[in-house]
Amino acid sequence: MTGQFEWSMWSIGLAVVTWSIVIGALVVIPFRRSPAAAQGWLLLFFFQPFAALALYFLIGDARHPKWRRERIKHVPGLVKRASQDIPGDVSDAAASLPPKSRTAARLVRSIGQLPCVAGNTISLDADYNRVVDRIAGDIEAARSHVHVMFYILQDDEAGNRLLSAMERAARRGVKCRLLIDAVGSANHRGAIMRRLAGTGVEVHLILPWRIWRRATRADLRNHRKIVVVDGLVGWVGSQNMHRMEYEPNTFYREVMARVTGPVVLELQSVFVGDWYLETDEDISNQDIMPWPEATEGKVRAQVLPSGPDHPDSGIDTLFTDLIHAAGDRVVLTTPYFIPNEPLSLALRTAVAKGVKVTLFMTATTNSFFIDHAQRSYYDELLYSGVEVMLYRERFLHAKHLSIDDDIALIGSANMDRRSFELNSEVTLVVYDAGVVRQLRRIEDDYRAKSRRLTIEEWEKRGFFTQLAENAMRLVSPLL
């Protein structure tokens, strides 16, 4: 009898705790979250309340810890000071843009603070190994400083080219600073730190995971890829610094932009802000923000930093706005596609208005969960008329968007919640028909190596495949 009573009390106690967790989740979870994200969390709390509670404490709040948020408050002023040397005659470039581009430029500046600037030269490069060689070559020519930031940096064939060039530059007296993400570069960060010790290259980890003093979040990462040489040459895009075959039998395809002109100073400003966040050191000064003696380029562009350090609005706001503004064509390339509702609606609405919308994606991702989650969005896209092209040759890791014939976005952001809310990203926004033509040639090559997914093929997938897609769809806002 006593045993039955104790068991009954344990059962009642467990039920009270379980329902307290669920009711608490109903109160807390919907606050300042999208309906989709709230739905994903609440489903998890209803089915696995204790596991959900532990997971929520780890990654539930898409904000940095308090100490980091306090430091972030200083970044806008620091970035503004770092970019204030850009002369007004080029920083007012948005005024001469066509209405659609001018509106976009105002939105980009509102989100990321950096203006549209004229006088740039921008070349796109989709040759993986050539990009590595060209970046190393630019570093070899450095005279003043080299600033490098990568989400993934490995001490392999590609990483060695970069690190060796930085080591040689440091021996010449060039000031070299390197930031690598502590989680993205986890496999090689120790070896890199040991290799660079005593070389003159100053290296810091971005957000090393800690659960005690100055705690950090493991899921809030810096996903940016930036190289700045002497404040005169910059690189930005999707490519990390590792060999092309990053995973066994998985060869990456990327797109990077090499930039010269005033927009390089905007990439420099982003690096200055990230360096401050990791070191509490303000490195902004006129030596690293040189104004080029002659701006031979004619391209108008601006840089958009986004992420938890810019919490008021994200890169998805720009994507959605530009798709709504498109009049003729939208081409979107991403390895990971888990859109929020506004972005998904924008794509469907564009098709309804007569805009040709093409989505290039890799045929198979490197994640079972993401692969099935993003497939769950194909149905509505295909039936609305979006052209879904599955790239077959390699793992298509490039991230870019072209709107009509005059706007191009190249950067580090995927089309998923992680890039929209959790990762620090950087995007180069270009208002130039010539750069769009460069991107079109790359997109044409994708098309030649892709197959179009048809509604007929899509409807033939099996029951268990559909079941996996639907299950992953429910939790896709958490991926």
**Based on the domain organization, do 120 and 239 belong to the same domain?**
yes
Give the mean pLDDT of 276-301: 82
Count other Cβ atoms within 10 Å, centred on residue 447: 15
| Span 433-457, average pLDDT | 95
Are residues 466 and 365 both part of a single domain? Answer: yes
Among 254, 269, 299, which residue terminates a domain? 299
According to the model, what pLDDT value does residue 224 have? 97
Expressed as residue numbers, the domain containing 9 is 2-59
Would you place residue 75 in the very low, low, confident or very high pLDDT band (cuts 50, 70, 90)? confident
Q: Taking Cα atoms as reference points, which of 139, 138, 137, 86 lies closest to residue 115?
A: 86
Helix H, strand E, coil C: the string for 335-357 is CCECCCHHHHHHHHHHHHCCCEE
Is residue 320 included in any domain, yes or no? yes
In a domain, 103, yes or no: no
Active-site residues, by number, are 223, 225, 230, 397, 399, 404
367: pLDDT strictly greater than 90: no
Residue 36: pLDDT band with limits 50, 70, 90? low
Q: State whether 428 and 466 are in the same domain.
A: yes
User: pLDDT over 70 for what percent of the chain?
Assistant: 79
Q: For position 96, what pLDDT does the model report? A: 87
Intra-chain end-to-end CA distance of the chain, in Å: 48
pLDDT given for residue 474 in this prediction: 61
- SS3 assignment, position 144: coil
CATH number at residue 349: 3.30.870.10
Do 404 and 335 belong together in one domain?
Answer: yes
Number of structural domains (the chain) is: 3
**In this structure, are 181 and 223 located in the same domain?**
yes
Of 400, 409, 455, the closest CA to residue 431 belongs to: 409
329 is a domain residue: yes
Any domain includes 173: yes
Query: Rounded to an integer, what is the distance from CA 23 to the centroid of its chain?
Result: 35
Same domain membership, residue 281 and residue 366: no
Is residue 110, in this structure, part of any structural domain at all? no
Summarised one tens digit per residue, pLDDT across range 106-131 is 999 999 889 999 999 999 999 999 99
pLDDT tier at 388, thresholds 50, 70, 90: very high
Do residues 228 and 248 share a domain? yes
Find out whether 336 and 370 touch, Cβ atoms under 8 Å: yes
Q: Are residues 293 and 379 in the same domain?
A: no
Please give the model's pTM, rounded to 2 decimal places.
Answer: 0.87
What mean pLDDT value characterizes the chain? 86
Q: Is the pLDDT of residue 433 over 90?
A: yes
Q: Evaluate whether residue 309 is within a structural domain.
A: no
Residue 71 has pLDDT above 90, yes or no: no
Specify whether 249 is located in the same domain as 366. Answer: no
Query: Is 169 or 86 the better-scoring residue by pLDDT?
Result: 169
Integer Cα distance of 265 and 377 in angstroms: 39
Q: Are residues 366 and 451 in the same domain?
A: yes
Torsion region of 291: left, alpha or beta (phi above 0 gives left; psi -120 to 50 gives alpha): beta
Residue 346: the pLDDT is 97
Domain end, chosen from 267, 299, 331, is at 299
Give residue 214's pLDDT. 65
- Give the pLDDT score at 209: 77
Predicted confidence at residue 357, as pLDDT, reads 98
Residue that finishes a domain, picked among 299, 331, 359? 299
CB 384 within 8 A of CB 444: no
213-234 tens-digit pLDDT: 666 666 788 999 999 999 999 9
pLDDT for residue 321:
96
- pLDDT score for 476: 58
Cα separations (Å) of 408 from 27, 58, 411, 421? 42, 36, 10, 22
Element (H, E) at 398: none
Q: How far apart are CA 137 and CA 26, in angstroms?
A: 55
Cα 374 from Cα 456, distance rounded (Å): 18
Beta strands 256-260 and 233-237 are: antiparallel
Question: Does residue 107 lie in a domain region?
Answer: no
Across 143-164, average pLDDT: 97
pLDDT score of 182 more than 70: yes
State the Cα–Cα distance between residues 419 and 422, nearest whole angstrom: 6
Residue among 146, 204, 137, 216 at smallest CA distance from 174:
146
Residues 34 and 80 in one domain: no
76 and 135 share a domain? yes
Task: Count the neighbouring beta carbons within 10 Å of the beta carbon of residue 4.
Answer: 8
Residue 218 within any structural domain of the chain: yes
